[in-house]
Structure 1
Amino acid sequence: MKTFITDNFLLRNNYAQRLFHSYVESLPIIDYHNHLIPKELADNKLFPNITQVWLYGDHYKWRAMRTLGIDEHYIAGQAPDKDKFEKWANCVPYTMRNPLYHWTHLELLRYFNIDTLLDANSASDIYAQTSHMLASEDYSAMGLLRQMNVESLCTTDDPTDSLEYHQTLAKANNDISVLPTFRPDKVYNLSDSEQYKSYIKKLELACGFAIMDYESLLNALSNRIDFFHYHGCRLADHGLETLIYVENQKFNEAKIFSKALAGEHISLQEQQFFTFKILVFLCKVYNDRGWVQQFHLGGLRNTNNRLLGKLGPDSGFDSIGDFSQAKMMAQFFDHLESTNELTKTIIYNLNPADNEVFVTMAGNFNDGSIKGKVQFGSAWWFLDQKDGIEKQLNTLSNLGLLSCFIGMLTDSRSLLSFPRHEYFRRILCNLIGEDVKNGLLPWDEKWLGKLVSDICYYNAKNYFDFSIQ
């Protein structure tokens, strides 16, 4: 059966169709947050089959397969790749109304020109056809990015990373800019003292000197930020349940760090205080370098301890968390703003109940110095589907300025996820087109065309000044 994805998929009126096809369809992609593997890009990897490029590491698909009762052997286990693909194909019809159904067919169509519905009957032919196509250089890692007109992307990298693959990519003078992002979550995670001590040893090797005390830890972080900056990094990212603000004079960050190195127990209050102190230090350094800082907030991670122990993190056992966000977020940003050291900031919300909180918080700290300095980030993770994207856009429109928004990202580990930018662009254009149709906006085509073009490309192009030294 042919797919349902026509030229006007998701575009329900002539205004939406005009905005999408004439103004944003062909714009390049700036994917400023993803989890692609730099080595695969530097090696320009060819994938032997669609399972390896599409199903490996995709916890969205894994969660759906587990829900349908598929054995782990065919998910993250050792089953042959063809068997894994066929099991996924069997599941696809049962994902209707989940974004996976849209994404699956959009990706098959855009990368492989396959306009057949994926199911048990079509699986074998689609596996053979895609495997044959993936042997071509046009379907190498960089070739897949070129197919989607990717201009630049930012991977997510630990401070201990050597960035050797980013260096290889830079020397190759590729037409696609691949830049690192500084992700220091492990630096302030004191929940497991043995893991923390092991991590500090890795950090010592990366910066080239011993980390004996809190001062040398800060020196090591500055050293790594300088190193990342030299290799093109202009963004930092942090994954937290909430932002933290702690006023507690009885704690001392240097003493807490010494206790951690000694393997002593660190209380929850001490962990929070230490996290706060490290984050403040990092944010001030980011401001000095002119970086953008990102905060992904609201995830409740690693909830299934049995399967976490078997498969490890990022395997599909996280959910939306219900945390109090507003007060400490305001205090944290105000602490930086009080010394004029709040750099460009993106806050991503995982709980849709907090959308209004995040938008109004961003507005509190836009100081007129930079267009859209503090951004309410794109619909993220569980929310990057049609309903979640529309809610994010509507909340931003109602309480902020949609015109300043820097648009979509993939937040993905898959090289086949870039049609999500098209998905977002279609939803955006339809939202604006519906307003025109309903008499809520004038049909000023030139201005509305500029509005959607800015959101889909030009705002991000200007916001992330990757040329700064």
Structure 2
Amino acid sequence: MSKNFIHDNFLLENIYAEELYHNFSKNQPIIDYHNHLPPQQIAGDKTFENITNVWINGDHYKWRAMRTLGINETFITGDASDKEKFLNWAKTVPYTMRNPLYHWTHLELARYFDIYDLLSEKSAENIWNVTQEKLNSNGYSCRGLLKKVNAELICTTEDPIDTLEYHQQLAKSDFSVKVSTAFRPDKAILILNDGYNNYIDTLGEAANISISSFHELCDALRKRIEFFNENGCRLCDHGLDQIYFESYTENEVNSIFKKKREGQELSNKETLKFQSAVLVFLCETYHEFGWVQQFHLGALRNNNARMHRILGPDTGWDSIGDYPQAQKLSAFLNALDSKDKLTKTIIYNLNPADNEVMATMIGNFNDGSVKGKVQLGSGWWFLDQKDGMTKQLNALSNMGLISCFVGMLTDSRSFLSFPRHEYFRRVLCNLLGDEIKRGELPNEMELIGKMVSDISYNNAKNYFNFN
């Protein structure tokens, strides 16, 4: 009988890689410091009726693959039954070979359900039945799924207007996995967004401030940062195409904000000045509170206007953008550093052409005050796969110190996505094991094993200020 596709040494190509993974990485707890899991479901310990509910609904990676195969939207996001949607995903899986979905799919089936059969139309009925039975048994609720993967801490992502009521409930619960949040204020920055003025009204209500000036906007954001901080938040996150940095004066920014509140059109220059001013204010405040700031840069979003109108954002119509990154990012980081107000920073790059740009940029602002103060974040979204991870690791190694790297995160909305940590750890160990075999690294398992343990867990544990 042939070996299972997912086995103990999956992706590990020699004995050195195997030893590094099994002895130094495999059993390390997971700190997932950035994801989009719904805290309401964790607080309520939601259970899932079937695998479509927990695995396919909301997963735009799968949706894009199914559409490419020619599957009708009815069976993806439409009104088909859950079982029909799963059967159509099962039909798609054999066609995803060499896409990371093929690896992720079978890792997730193995780790959560002890299923080692390849998913296809042939196996779909049995896998549907087995997973449904397990999902309706003990240990498969949201909290149970997080415990299965040895999660120690997870960090969701919330808007400044969020009440954090579910995080407050979780903080008082006996759940063994710590659940924190990250502050995501992009809607307050992106002044050209539809509904911006309505959003600012809602932000004002949350902060109990009537916002009619830029100064009042900053006061409201600060109050929400204080509220988040009181509730255990120690990170922020920004999803921007690129960093904005234009020179501005306070009078200019006040005038721009007033124009927007009065419903007037803004020029491109005015937009950039305003966005720069808000971002600088926020980042100086993060420094004051000792937070870690994260920047996800480079996505070109909502490309298909027709489907965006029908389905909305985050439904699979985004791609890699080719924005210029270096100059504005450098000026922005330098402006904060010049005032000694640059807090710990993680920069995530989406365009592989910019890996070395970002890897060298972080070195400009690592000033010796904190180990790995400015980080090149792990490969994310379209680069969250074996090749993308390897290129990120190589760029970071060549241009900086991989030993200081805070490692992997899921950036996911799915409770079944946590084997991506295992996937990353296997890729890391295989990369290092191959170099030991070739004599490019010493055959010193304790030395290299410590680095593996640090990247897998210890660096993140020490970097973030969760208590």
Could you state the TM-score of these two structures normalised by the residue count of structure 1?
0.98
* AA at the equivalent of 1:284: E
Instruction: Give the conservation status (yes or no) of the 8 Å contact 1:46–1:137.
Output: no
User: Percent of pairs identical after alignment?
Assistant: 58
Q: Deviation per CA, 1:73-104, whole angstroms, max 9, x where unpaired?
A: 11111110000000000000000000000000
Counterpart secondary structure, 1:179: strand
The answer for the alignment partner of 1:421 in structure 2 is: 421
Q: What SS does the corresponding residue of 1:337 show, helix, strand or coil?
A: helix
2:395 corresponds to 1:399: no
Pairs within 5 Å for 1:330-349: 330-349=330-349
Aligned partner of 2:448 in structure 1 is: 448
What does 1:287-302 align with in structure 2 at a 5 Å threshold? 287-302=287-302
CA–CA distance in structure 2, aligned partners of residues 355 and 214 of structure 1 = 35
Q: Which structure 2 residue ranges, 5 or more long, are not aligned?
A: none
CA shift for structure 1 position 452: 0.2
Partners of 1:41 and 1:142 within 8 A in 2: yes
Note the alpha carbon deviations across 1:198-237, whole angstroms, 9 max, x for none: 1012112211221121111111000000000011100000
Q: Which residue of 1 aligns with 2:116?
A: 115
SS at match of 1:122: helix
Residue pair 2:54, 2:414 contacting (<8 A) in 1 also? yes
Paired residue secondary structure (2:31): strand
| TM alignment of 1:108-147, pairs within 5 A | 108-147=109-148
Aligned to 1:13: 14
Distance verdict in 2 for CA 1:148–1:362, change over 3 Å: same
- Which digits, 9 at most, give the CA deviation of each residue in 1:218-261, with x for residues without a partner? 11000000000011100000011111110255971111111111
- SS for the counterpart of 1:117 is coil
Q: What is the one-letter code of the residue matched to 2:410?
A: T
Q: How far off is 1:316 after superposition?
A: 0.5
- Structure 1 Cα separation of the partners of residues 425 and 245 of structure 2: 36
Aligned-pair CA distance for 1:191: 1.3
Checking the alignment, whether the CA contact within 8 Å between 1:251 and 1:270 is kept in structure 2 is no
Q: Residues 239-254 of structure 1: matches in 2 within 5 Å?
A: 239-248=239-248, 252-254=252-254
* Counterparts of 1:212 and 1:225, CA distance in 2: 19
Do 1:54 and 1:414's aligned partners in 2 also have CA atoms closer than 8 Å? Answer: yes
Shift of residue 336, structure 1, vs aligned partner: 0.4
CA distance in 2, matches of 1:341, 1:56: 41
Structure 1 residue identity aligned to 2:381: W
**Aligned position for 1:218:** 218
CA separation of 1:234/1:322 partners in 2, compared to 1, >3 Å: closer, same or farther? Answer: same
Name the SS for the 2:348 alignment partner. strand
Q: CA RMSD in A?
A: 1.1
Q: Map Cα deviations across residues 341-366 of structure 1 (whole Å, 9 max, x no partner).
A: 00000000000000000010000000
For residues 45-444 of structure 1, the aligned pairs below 5 Å read: 45-192=46-193, 195-248=195-248, 252-444=252-444
Partners of 1:322 and 1:348 in 2: how far apart? 14
Residue 83 of structure 2 aligns to a residue whose secondary structure is helix
CA distance in structure 1 between the aligned counterparts of 2:416 and 2:117, rounded to whole angstroms: 17
Q: Give how far 1:390 is off.
A: 0.3
How big is the shift at 1:68? 0.4
Q: What is the deviation of 1:448?
A: 0.8
Q: Match of 1:294, as an amino acid?
A: Q
In the TM superposition, residue 137 of structure 1 has moved relative to its aligned partner by 3.0
For the 8 Å contact 1:190–1:266, the answer to whether it is kept is: no
Against the structure 1 CA distance between its residues 285 and 359, is the aligned structure 2 distance closer, same or farther, given a 3 Å change threshold? same
Bigger mean CA offset, 224-233 vs 245-254: 245-254
Q: Partner residue of 1:25? A: 26
The secondary structure found in structure 2 opposite 1:139 is coil
Q: Is the 8 A contact 1:296 1:348 kept in 2?
A: yes
Give yes or no for contact 2:248–2:277 (8 Å, CA) kept in 1: no
| Alpha-carbon distance in structure 2 between the residues aligned to 1:446 and 1:220 | 50
Corresponding residue for residue 457 of structure 2: 457
Q: Deviations over 1:361-397 (max 9, x none)?
A: 0000000000000000000100010000000001101
Cα distance in 2 for residues equivalent to 1:173 and 1:283: 34
Contact 1:19 1:452 (C-alpha < 8 Å) held by counterparts: yes
SS in 2 for 1:252: helix
Deviation sequence 1:147-181 (CA, Å, 0-9, x none): 00000011010000000111111110321010010
| SS across alignment from 1:156 | strand
Would you say how many aligned residue pairs link Structure 1 and Structure 2?
Answer: 466
**For residues 2 and 103 of structure 1, what CA distance do their matches in structure 2 show?**
18
Inter-partner Cα distance in structure 2 for 1:184 and 1:384: 24
Measure, in 1, the Cα distance between the counterparts of 2:276 and 2:248: 11
